């Protein structure tokens, strides 16, 4: 059997946490995004109400939930290393057509990257918006969860904005 190129498999192709002990400590950063697509009447109501529902301030609550989730990613995703994040920010922007764009940026000085923390933060912020708006409609979509950029490790990554099919 050929050795796997997947990082979370050991020499016998069994699941294993990656040993990062020999890696250099560097500043690791990642940015991810998610989109929530609301039906137009829901988007209008949310804008009219100042982004509040009976459950409270939607965007503020989603920001808090996203940061909390990023900090606890290792409890949710098997084999993620526990990290003491040095920075985590969540930005939420209501856009035309009922779209809400969520971006989560995470940073830490460590031996392992923070892509999963950024993706988890953006995803949970999107789920929180869904939860807080579902009384208005269940016809809400969460879409486009993706990594936008990462740096500080062996393989930096920057999503090409001009790539065919990529939404700005």
Question: Mapping DSSP to helix (H, G, I), strand (E, B) and coil, where does residue 113 land?
Answer: coil
User: Would you give the end-to-end CA distance of the chain in angstroms?
Assistant: 42
The count of other CB atoms within 10 Å of the CB of residue 100 is 25
**CA dihedral sign, ordered 56, 59, 62, 68:** negative
Going from the C-alpha of 61 to that of each of 39, 65, 114, 147, 168, the distances in angstroms are: 21, 6, 22, 22, 25
Query: 141 and 36 in contact (C-beta within 8 Å)?
Result: yes
The count of other CB atoms within 10 Å of the CB of residue 23 is 13
Estimate to the nearest angstrom the gap between the alpha carbon of 84 and the chain centroid.
Answer: 17
Alpha-carbon distance of 128 to 139, in angstroms, equals 15
131 is catalytic: yes
- Which one of 19, 131, 139, 143 is the catalytic residue? 131
Which active-site residues does the annotation give?
Answer: 131
């Amino acid at each position: 059997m050929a050795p796997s190129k997947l990082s979370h498999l050991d020499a016998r192709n069994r699941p294993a946490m990656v040993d990062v002990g020999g890696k250099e400590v560097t500043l690791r950063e990642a940015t991810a995004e998610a989109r929530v697509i609301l039906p137009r009447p829901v988007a209008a109501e949310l804008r009219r109400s100042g982004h509040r529902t009976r459950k409270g301030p939607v965007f503020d609550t989603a920001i808090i939930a996203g940061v909390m989730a990023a900090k606890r990613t290792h409890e949710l995703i098997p084999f993620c290393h526990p990290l003491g994040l040095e920075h985590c920010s969540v930005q939420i922007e209501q856009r035309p057509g009922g779209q809400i764009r969520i971006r989560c940026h995470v940073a830490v000085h460590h031996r392992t990257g923070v892509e999963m923390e950024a993706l988890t933060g953006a995803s949970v912020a999107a789920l929180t918006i869904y939860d807080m708006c579902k009384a208005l409609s269940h016809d809400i979509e969460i879409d486009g969860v993706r990594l936008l950029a990462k740096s500080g490790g062996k393989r930096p990554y920057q999503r090409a904005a001009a790539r065919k099919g990529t939404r700005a």
